[in-house]
Amino acid sequence: MTLYTTVPSSIGELLLVGDGTALCGLYMQEAPRPKFVEPAWRRDDDAFAAARAQLEEYFDGRRTSFDVRLRMDGPEFERQVWEALREIPYGETTSYGQIARRIGHPEAARAVGVANARNPIAVIVPCHRVIGADGSLTGYGGGLERKRLLLDLESGVLAL
């Protein structure tokens, strides 16, 4: 059974989706491509208590890492990229090319970008920490303004 809840945040409403044992999705509902709740899903706020608390702490600037159980389904290459995203330290950024080299596919920067865009667990799996090789902000499913807000929060420029 798929469970869900919503969480208010300073970047808009977040939709959390899981199976009762792991978080499987975290989506920004006010982003250009929101995720819609399926009719068969059941709302269960208690099932996401730890994730909700940790997200609140993160947005308050009191948490720099997450320790909720995740389940991320996808092809092997995408899972490698998503794991590499989780290794980017709080407050730091990296490029698509650097991730490609880190996972042993140095010519796959564009494929890393595609996998990054397919990250099903925004914020907790920090795809917002990936920028262009020239240091520019590049595409972000939540919109570049949310990417900038998250990076500013992590750099201490902005207290959300």
Full-model pTM: 0.92
Question: pLDDT at position 141, please?
Answer: 82
User: Which of residues 17, 33, 59 is at a domain's end?
Assistant: 59
What domain range is 147 assigned to?
76-155
In a domain, residue 66? The reply is no
Question: pLDDT at position 160, please?
Answer: 41
In a domain, residue 19? The reply is yes
CATH number of the structural domain spanning residue 86 = 1.10.10.10
Same domain, 48 and 112: no
What is the count of structural domains for the chain?
Answer: 2
- 24 is known as an active-site residue: no
Residues 11-64: tens digit of each pLDDT: 999 999 999 999 999 999 998 889 999 999 999 999 999 999 999 999 999 999
Q: Give the active site residue among 7, 127, 150, 153.
A: 127
How is residue 110 written in tokens? 């564009």
| Integer Cα distance of 160 and 77 in angstroms | 34
Same domain, 127 and 93: yes
